[in-house]
Structure 1
């Protein structure tokens, strides 16, 4: 039987899957598509230049071994980089792009020449009446890479952040979009990137700002008829870090001005770093042209830390505060507080405070009391696993059946309900929901949510399913 590109690559994947972490396999190998096999050379399609660079740097040895096993010593691997097609048959902007490719960018009316010395720079961060054109970075030096501990849940985002800090504007992941739930360290990582760049490149102008403050400044600039001055100020920044970019949702004027600023910075090789509580695909009321730019670089998700990472975070916090605590107490807190890093650190601070103020020894019993109060006072997060269990129990099937590929109507409906409730009760991205409920893509989850909405309004029996399961999940 003659070998095909797909069969060779599938065999390579079996070998690779056995030899690397599941999360790494999912991130770096599942998106690859085998394209063709010619003269012992396997061509694979990857979604970006960054993807290719990461594979070459971290997985070249395992790729070589896997391919040699399949095709022998003369095997070759060819990468085809297929980026998102933003402008018909044109590629997205890179640092050096022919002027003919800029037809879609209408920035002529807002660009102010940087060599116009007669203008005074209007800095929106300066208090009126105080003459000072120096741009302060607005960074918090306490947020560094040193105290942002690495684990499986954040390795991609942290590694990408370090790469950006080493070569701002000079990597393929521009913009770098860091997304994830509340309290997982998005703001910390954004500051860490800025702080590291300032250390390495003191001459660069780095600016951190929340999307909310950016919007307020823009509204003020429009009121004072200073829109072009506002744009000019942001166009001279070398590294722009915007926190909580989802805040721009529904604000068309701010989105428009940010679009012009983004284009100018990107085309001039400046670095943009964004954070969001949602993946680009889940952002509502953000213009498509802006969303497409968010996808040009890398979108890296911060996930809930696993047990080992939670223990490391607690031990690091205790070490920085000069506190010694028995391992069994640290383990107990890490096992029982799983939601996010902020709550984890909050619990350990509460425990130390209780011990200090009440002159009590830090014991496991005291830890139980603190954790119980902490968990009770924290809004209960319904997990996707729990939702699948409730839905499958309700329809009297096991979770494997719920996740299966079968197209039987009652199983499909149960699966769609699980996806619907996962979107309603969790902050997980559509891609993450699909991945956990039978390895589906985000489009399937979106379709499931629409189907449930439609059936709820037209089918009385189906509406009862929704009401019953809602009650079970709200208990």
Structure 2
């Protein structure tokens, strides 16, 4: 059967829908219309200039891979953008040379790092650069800056520590700087902002950002070529090394050995190390103790889920950056109802813009409620007092029944007070109801406990860290 534009695009969609989230698929791929298939090139129609630019920025690699898989070598992609007075062809095409592409086991296509317009993720450290200064691509995203990173209670310590490191890399007690927290909270943004600020303040410093997965893959390739010494030497010449998601070292013992050697050399040479992980260092299972002990040499600080005020400011900033005008009530509605993470918040914002572009309507509260209905419904989950009690008991290794008993043992009293504090913050129960869950205590006991927790958080750093970690655990539980 001869290929048609529609059949080719449907084949692409069958691959894409298994890769991207459902909401992404509905928003950015369903509205695309296949127009023409000619000379191994597919012409697709998109609803607006904004739509085209977003596809090019976020999905061009995916489109390239799926089209190459469907049409083979020499496949190319062209866009037609709808405008009010008709349509026009977007000048230029996205050429997809097929000579370098090869199928992989997950039905996607792997491409070289320097393929087409895609920015390579890291430089190729296969050859030792020698002892002279050398120029490399830092692999930093220029859009990730401190100016675009909104500060709030959820990230203040991490942001200010990052600022200090950027001004004096390797010369502070924050070495290494480890920033941990859940997915989509801005860890990558912050560490790249540190890198960009470092380059600005210290032009002669060699700064490199690399994901842990990429580091491991590079190590494996060097191992196969018997070039481990060259690999380690390359990284030992970096002034500011930024490693993202170090929890992935857990499944790579030999890569940990290499990183240990690199870490020791850089730290002893007064160079700066910056890392992120999804958990605090003490909870990173599978990493060598000698590595974990070094992670604890500097500062470990977390980024938490942003509160509504921070989420609102993030939306305001994004609105001004994109040059759009959205009513204040709509921004507040989004900020109050999308509470999972920054990535989800920005996705909801872009869904609003896309819907407005598709329907050629101004964004109002009704459109916002319609677009975000499924997102809000899927994200909402209420946690119970009992669930919080169990989390706190497990965290402090305190028997559940002890929370309900009248005892003056310090560890039991503090565990109970923290549990009441979290129950008040994360449930809709009244103070009286919360008290009843702790052996029939009255509401004044709950008020006193909450105030005691707040006071201790300001004066006791260990106590504060315990409460912050438990807060994050409860927040994550509301999302799972």
Same fold by TM-score greater than 0.5 = yes
Partner of 1:203: 204
**Secondary structure at 2:275's aligned position in 1?**
strand
For residues 68-120 of structure 1, give each alpha carbon's deviation from its aligned partner in whole angstroms, at most 9, with x where no partner exists: xxxxxxxxxxxxxxxxxxxxxxxxxxxxxxxxxxxxxxxxxxxxxxxxxxxxx
Partner of 2:189: 188
Q: Offset at 1:134?
A: 3.4
Q: 1:366 to 1:235 in 2, by over 3 A?
A: same
Contact kept, 8 Å, 2:125 with 2:234, in 1: the verdict is: no
Q: 1:178 to 1:474 in 2, by over 3 A?
A: closer
Contact kept, 8 Å, 1:168 with 1:270, in 2: the verdict is: yes
* Alignment partner of 1:125 is 2:123: yes
Q: How does 1:80-229 map to 2 (within 5 A)?
A: 125-126=123-124, 134-229=135-230
Partner of 2:269: 268
Q: 1:404 to 1:148 in 2, by over 3 A?
A: farther
Q: Offset at 1:385?
A: 6.2
**Secondary structure at 2:197's aligned position in 1?**
helix
Q: 1:157 to 1:322 in 2, by over 3 A?
A: same
Contact kept, 8 Å, 1:150 with 1:158, in 2: the verdict is: yes
Partner of 2:388: 388
RMSD across aligned positions (CA): 3.9
- Between the aligned partners of 1:340 and 1:318, the Cα distance in structure 2 is 18
Q: Offset at 1:441?
A: 7.9
For residues 251-271 of structure 1, give each alpha carbon's deviation from its aligned partner in whole angstroms, at most 9, with x where no partner exists: 211111111110100011000
Contact kept, 8 Å, 1:387 with 1:473, in 2: the verdict is: no
Q: 1:383 to 1:228 in 2, by over 3 A?
A: farther
- Between the aligned partners of 1:280 and 1:391, the Cα distance in structure 2 is 20
Contact kept, 8 Å, 1:390 with 1:473, in 2: the verdict is: no
**Secondary structure at 1:249's aligned position in 2?**
helix
Q: 1:287 to 1:405 in 2, by over 3 A?
A: farther
For residues 332-371 of structure 1, give each alpha carbon's deviation from its aligned partner in whole angstroms, at most 9, with x where no partner exists: 1111111111111111111111112111221111111122
Q: 1:441 to 1:194 in 2, by over 3 A?
A: closer
For residues 262-304 of structure 1, give each alpha carbon's deviation from its aligned partner in whole angstroms, at most 9, with x where no partner exists: 0100011000000011101111011111111111110110011
Q: Offset at 1:387?
A: 2.7
Q: 1:213 to 1:331 in 2, by over 3 A?
A: same
For residues 381-438 of structure 1, give each alpha carbon's deviation from its aligned partner in whole angstroms, at most 9, with x where no partner exists: 665868328999xxxxxxx998678569xxx8xx89x99xx9xxxxxxxxxxxx99x9
Partner of 2:337: 336
Q: Offset at 1:250?
A: 3.2
Q: 1:315 to 1:385 in 2, by over 3 A?
A: farther
Contact kept, 8 Å, 2:126 with 2:230, in 1: the verdict is: no
Contact kept, 8 Å, 2:125 with 2:231, in 1: the verdict is: no
- Between the aligned partners of 1:246 and 1:234, the Cα distance in structure 2 is 19
**Secondary structure at 2:142's aligned position in 1?**
coil
Partner of 1:5: none
Partner of 2:235: 234
Partner of 1:6: none
**Secondary structure at 2:163's aligned position in 1?**
helix
- Between the aligned partners of 1:232 and 1:390, the Cα distance in structure 2 is 49
For residues 42-65 of structure 1, give each alpha carbon's deviation from its aligned partner in whole angstroms, at most 9, with x where no partner exists: xxxxxxxxxxxxxxxxxxxxxxxx
- Between the aligned partners of 1:406 and 1:351, the Cα distance in structure 2 is 53
Unmatched runs of 5 consecutive residues or more in structure 2 = 1-121, 393-399, 423-452, 458-462, 471-476
TM-score by length of 1: 0.56
Q: Offset at 1:223?
A: 1.0
Contact kept, 8 Å, 1:241 with 1:272, in 2: the verdict is: yes
Q: How does 1:236-315 map to 2 (within 5 A)?
A: 236-315=237-316
**Secondary structure at 2:270's aligned position in 1?**
coil
Q: 1:201 to 1:288 in 2, by over 3 A?
A: same
Q: Offset at 1:200?
A: 1.4
Q: 1:440 to 1:188 in 2, by over 3 A?
A: closer
- Between the aligned partners of 1:288 and 1:240, the Cα distance in structure 2 is 21
Unmatched runs of 5 consecutive residues or more in structure 1 = 1-123, 393-399, 423-434, 447-471
Q: 1:384 to 1:316 in 2, by over 3 A?
A: farther
Q: 1:308 to 1:281 in 2, by over 3 A?
A: same
TM-score by length of 2: 0.56
Q: Offset at 1:375?
A: 2.5
- Between the aligned partners of 1:182 and 1:369, the Cα distance in structure 2 is 26
